[in-house]
Structure 1
Amino acid sequence: MVCAGLERLGWAVHERLVEGSARAGTGATLRDSLAGALHGIPDGELVLLDGLLTARAAPVVAAHGGRLHLVLLVHLPHGLETAAGAGADLRAAERTVLDAVTTVVTTSRWTRDWLVETYAVDPSRIQVASPGVTSAEPAVPSASGHRLLCVGAITPTKGQDVLVEALAEDADLPWSGRCVGALDVEPGFVDRVLTRGVALGLGERLTFTGSAPPEAVAAEYADVDLLVVPSRFETYGMVITEALARAVPVLAAAVGGVPEALGTAPDGRRPGLLVTPAQPAAFASALREWLTDHDLRDDLRSAAAARRSTLRDWSDTSHTISTVLSRAAA
């Protein structure tokens, strides 16, 4: 979306694909691929780097920081990772990358503030460019509000284990749930979540679909009453604005940039419910309110419809990044 938007604004965009991934164990491939990509770029050129790739290739970024105008797009700071033994090393590498680049772009104010607090980055070097959202037709709600949707890879970060426990507490109420997202990122966690769901009697009411192409995810949003986001942390939460683009209210854990993504309607109403993270009882209580209180559902649906009209589209995001790039190249 952003690259196409920059091209429409007159930028000559040349994408470079990098092999490997941000996961542990792929660092050598990633470093070699990124080094090759950057080596072929002439001195003084402007480069927008995907921050998901850089921390595991920090020496490469540092080596080119003096000759290229590097702009770092931070979706998810690597320093937030809590894997045993990985936190300190990743934070040190991320600090190296932040020191090497000209400018930083974050997807939320929360992420900007986290980088400033954690790494003492000069706030003037950071620009927020909130993700846009593609407009869509409003979903048609059901009277009971029973159709629940969770979108995201099945991982501890996304918190589907919290959702399973919460739904079990509300098993006496009418609901049906669908979890759409990759099942191969954390296979051990997936096995535990699925096994626990069956043990709690949720097997026929809660479906895990696996990964889905964008058009299939869009169809899921069109046939849902409530988006549920049980994440343990999020730097923004694009699934939230994707739901709001269809006037679908949200029940989410109040973590990171989630409140920012949820936002408010022009009259100040919140288009959803925020609860304490990693607390199944809190999630279950809020879901029970949604399922049993008709007036609450109507109010949240109204607020979501009003919030829909205030969402940024991708052209806004592209304009913001374009301005950042122009300043970095000056």
Structure 2
Amino acid sequence: MSGIVFAIPGDIDAPTGGYGYDRRLLREWHEAGIEARHIALPGSFPFPTEADLATTERLLAATAPDDVLLVDGLAFGAFPEALAARFADRLVALVHHPLAMETGLKPEAADTLRRSERLALARARTIVASSPTTRATLETEFGVPASEIVVAAPGCDPAPRASGSRGGAPLRLLAVGSLIPRKGYGDLVEAAAAIADRAWTLTIAGSPDHAPETAAQLRSVIARDGLADRIVLAGAVGPDKLAQLYDEADLFVMPSLYEGYGMVLTEALARGLPIVTTLSGAGAEALPDAAALKVPPGDAAALAKALARLIDAPAERRQRADAAWAAAGDLPRWSETARIVAEACLRDRASARNAARGFREKPMQDQRAREQD
């Protein structure tokens, strides 16, 4: 029976949505008895050196001939066509969002990534997209036939409802995601400055290491606008601290310019938080309108207006929080995500049936966990 070799570049424990998705697939497969293992590719992707490409080819070649090679899109989109062609009969690409669509890339770098990703995707046996938005982009802009794409949206764990701030404390706003240009935190700080006359604090939880210049600029703007005592850049936080931040929050905000999905939105929804978000990806589009205010990406004025509206209207915040909590019970679970990806990877019918069997009991277990919360 075929096994899954999940090739992921860099540090799989890095606190980002993409790595979190990857880690969760491996965990779910292990719990379901699916044969799967992780191999670490060089961390230089999506701009690998020739030496790192040689290392990547050597690592893939060392796998068993009947193993399925599931490659995270951070590396896959930068594969030279010859490398993808060598393993084409067993390559599956996992695409969170196309590499060329990362905000802040120089035009020549974006063009290079767009060409390499188009050529590599043409060699994949199957492509897994993490959202319908990504699937549509792959079809329209990268020429991938719809029949070759499987959508496996991120799952979400049941979680306790957020407690929020208590007493007369300022409203606590929370944003989660690495400090990179695509996350739109510059717009968020501009919006926050425009409503500085309201009582609020903002915590942004996300690593500054992926784009140090962006992080430094953000700190500078916060200081310039006199918001250093109200906006906390918490850095990368572990699961326990992140759960605490969600529990203490009154309002969740996502100002991203583009997202393949936006997993933090479902995490916020699962905790019954009212949300202000940009319409920047499938996650935002799928949010119930009753739970979230949605504004155009890159529009700081609209973001400020939406935040002010909910800060000023406690009754509306409660209504939207109740709508979020009501919708949380219908969120997809990670067991379903992992089952979809496993079945997309495993080539023979017996392997696919075994994958489905391994996940059969998971939905009921997840429901019981939800009821206990």
1:237 matched to 2:259? The reply is no
1:76 maps to which residue? 97
Instruction: Find the partner of 1:146 among 157, 171, 174.
Output: 171
Q: 1:328 to 1:256 in 2, by over 3 A?
A: farther
1:13 maps to which residue? 36
1:51 matched to 2:76? The reply is no
2:198 maps to which residue? 173
1:275 matched to 2:300? The reply is no
State the Cα distance separating 1:134 from its structure 2 match: 1.9
Q: Which amino acid aligns with 1:325?
A: C
Moved over 6 A (4+): none
2:137 maps to which residue? 114
1:210 matched to 2:235? The reply is yes
State the Cα distance separating 1:270 from its structure 2 match: 3.2
Q: 1:10 to 1:61 in 2, by over 3 A?
A: farther
1:325 maps to which residue? 345
Partners of 1:136 and 1:117 in 2: how far apart?
37
1:263 maps to which residue? 287
Partners of 1:60 and 1:248 in 2: how far apart?
47
Q: Please, what is the CA RMSD of the aligned residues?
A: 1.9
Instruction: Find the partner of 2:45 among 12, 19, 22.
Output: 22
8 Å Cα contact 1:160-1:193 kept in structure 2: yes
Q: Which amino acid aligns with 1:89?
A: T
Query: How many residues end up aligned between the 2 structures?
Result: 323
Instruction: Find the partner of 1:315 among 331, 335, 353.
Output: 335
Which is further off, 101-110 or 319-328? 319-328
8 Å Cα contact 1:252-1:258 kept in structure 2: no
State the Cα distance separating 1:35 from its structure 2 match: 0.8
1:249 maps to which residue? 274
8 Å Cα contact 1:226-1:248 kept in structure 2: yes
1:219 matched to 2:240? The reply is no
Q: Which amino acid aligns with 1:290?
A: L
8 Å Cα contact 1:31-1:56 kept in structure 2: no
Instruction: Name the TM-score, length of structure 1 as normaliser.
Output: 0.92
8 Å Cα contact 1:71-1:101 kept in structure 2: yes
State the Cα distance separating 1:106 from its structure 2 match: 0.7
Q: Unaligned regions of 5+ residues in structure 2, if any?
A: 1-23, 352-373
Q: 1:49 to 1:23 in 2, by over 3 A?
A: closer
Query: Secondary structure at the residue paired with 2:178?
Result: coil
Q: 1:30 to 1:241 in 2, by over 3 A?
A: farther
Q: Deviations over 1:258-305 (max 9, x none)?
A: 324x422xxxx4311110111110000000000011221122111101
Partners of 1:160 and 1:193 in 2: how far apart?
7
Partners of 1:229 and 1:51 in 2: how far apart?
23
State the Cα distance separating 1:29 from its structure 2 match: 4.7
8 Å Cα contact 1:131-1:238 kept in structure 2: yes
8 Å Cα contact 1:106-1:129 kept in structure 2: yes
8 Å Cα contact 2:71-2:93 kept in structure 1: yes
Which is further off, 193-202 or 135-144? 135-144
Which is further off, 274-283 or 57-66? 57-66
8 Å Cα contact 1:38-1:64 kept in structure 2: no
1:306 maps to which residue? 326
8 Å Cα contact 1:61-1:100 kept in structure 2: no
Query: Secondary structure at the residue paired with 1:234?
Result: coil
Partners of 1:213 and 1:141 in 2: how far apart?
20
Q: 1:320 to 1:3 in 2, by over 3 A?
A: same
Query: Secondary structure at the residue paired with 2:38?
Result: coil
8 Å Cα contact 2:262-2:284 kept in structure 1: no
Query: Secondary structure at the residue paired with 1:218?
Result: helix
Q: 1:28 to 1:135 in 2, by over 3 A?
A: farther
Partners of 1:177 and 1:8 in 2: how far apart?
37
Partners of 1:5 and 1:61 in 2: how far apart?
29
State the Cα distance separating 1:79 from its structure 2 match: 2.4
Q: Unaligned regions of 5+ residues in structure 1, if any?
A: none
1:129 maps to which residue? 152
1:38 matched to 2:60? The reply is yes
Instruction: Name the TM-score, length of structure 2 as normaliser.
Output: 0.82
